[in-house]
């Protein structure tokens, strides 16, 4: 009886090993054919180069320190800056004039905290009216502002920046929680 049990257990182990080998071979074949198919067709979106995160971090430091000329050098001449409320700035000069005026004349100090950075490369637009193919940097953060009049503000911000082929920003979409801004104005 013991011999039969050992024989059956041995056969089961050998059979189990053979199935794993067949499964592994099938998985390798499926994986290599999937890789071959993926290389033929790019996914609609994928992670982009980390250099865009480094550009974003450098821009945050430049803005916080008030180095607006260096900050402005990251924009393309034809850049468009859109705010979530519907306002927009067209052209590098308009963007720089607006933000340089705010940062140097109105804002005493500013800091960006709890940053989350996500570089994305859009290969195929999902909605041609809403997204542009190419490299995007998505950034979420909390901003703490102290104004020259002594008032303080903290709000959540989300910024999407699109980069042209020269790694200059040609499009920004700026989303922010306007409730704290409205409350600050009511004081």
Range of the domain at 101: 45-186
Answer for the pair 102, 110: CB distance below 8 angstroms, yes or no. Answer: no
Let me know whether 4 and 87 are in one domain.
no
Let me know whether 108 and 127 are in one domain.
yes
Q: What tens digit of pLDDT does each residue of 125-172 get?
A: 888 777 799 999 999 999 999 999 999 999 999 999 999 999 999 999
Let me know whether 24 and 55 are in one domain.
no
Domain tally, the chain: 2
Let me know whether 37 and 89 are in one domain.
no
Q: What tens digit of pLDDT does each residue of 110-138 get?
A: 999 999 999 999 999 888 777 799 999 99
Let me know whether 36 and 127 are in one domain.
no
Let me know whether 169 and 103 are in one domain.
yes
Let me know whether 37 and 98 are in one domain.
no
147 Cβ neighbours under 8 A, 6+ residues apart: 106, 107, 108, 153
Let me know whether 86 and 138 are in one domain.
yes
Let me know whether 13 and 82 are in one domain.
no
Query: Strand ranges (DSSP E) for 1-151?
Result: 45-47, 75-83, 88-90, 107-122, 134-147
Let me know whether 66 and 24 are in one domain.
no
Could you tell me the pTM of the whole model?
Answer: 0.76
Cα(146)–Cα(9) distance, rounded to whole angstroms? 75
Query: Strand ranges (DSSP E) for the chain?
Result: 45-47, 75-83, 88-90, 107-122, 134-147, 152-163, 169-176
Let me know whether 109 and 68 are in one domain.
yes
75-83 vs 169-176, strand pairing mode: parallel
Instruction: Give residue 39's Cα distance to chain centre.
Output: 23
CATH number for the domain that contains residue 135: 3.10.450.50
Res 2 pLDDT > 80? no
- Give the rounded percent of residues in the chain with a pLDDT score beyond 70: 78
- Tokens at residue 130, please? 């809403």
């Amino acid at each position: 009886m013991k011999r039969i049990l050992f024989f059956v257990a041995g056969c089961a182990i050998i059979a189990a090993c053979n199935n794993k080998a067949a499964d592994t071979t099938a998985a390798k074949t499926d994986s290599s054919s999937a890789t071959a198919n993926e290389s033929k067709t790019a996914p609609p979106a994928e992670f982009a180069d980390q250099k865009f995160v480094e550009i974003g971090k450098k821009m945050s430091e430049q803005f916080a320190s008030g180095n607006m000329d260096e900050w402005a050098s990251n924009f393309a001449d034809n850049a468009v800056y859109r705010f979530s409320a519907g306002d927009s700035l067209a052209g590098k000069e308009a963007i720089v004039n607006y933000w340089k005026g705010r940062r140097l004349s109105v804002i005493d100090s500013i800091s960006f905290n709890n940053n989350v950075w996500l570089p994305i490369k859009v290969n195929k637009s999902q909605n041609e009216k809403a997204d542009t193919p190419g490299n995007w940097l998505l950034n979420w953060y909390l901003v703490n502002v102290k104004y020259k009049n002594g008032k303080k503000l903290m709000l959540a911000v989300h910024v999407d920046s699109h980069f042209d082929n020269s790694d200059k920003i040609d499009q920004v979409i700026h989303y922010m929680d306007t409730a704290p801004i409205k409350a600050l104005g009511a004081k």
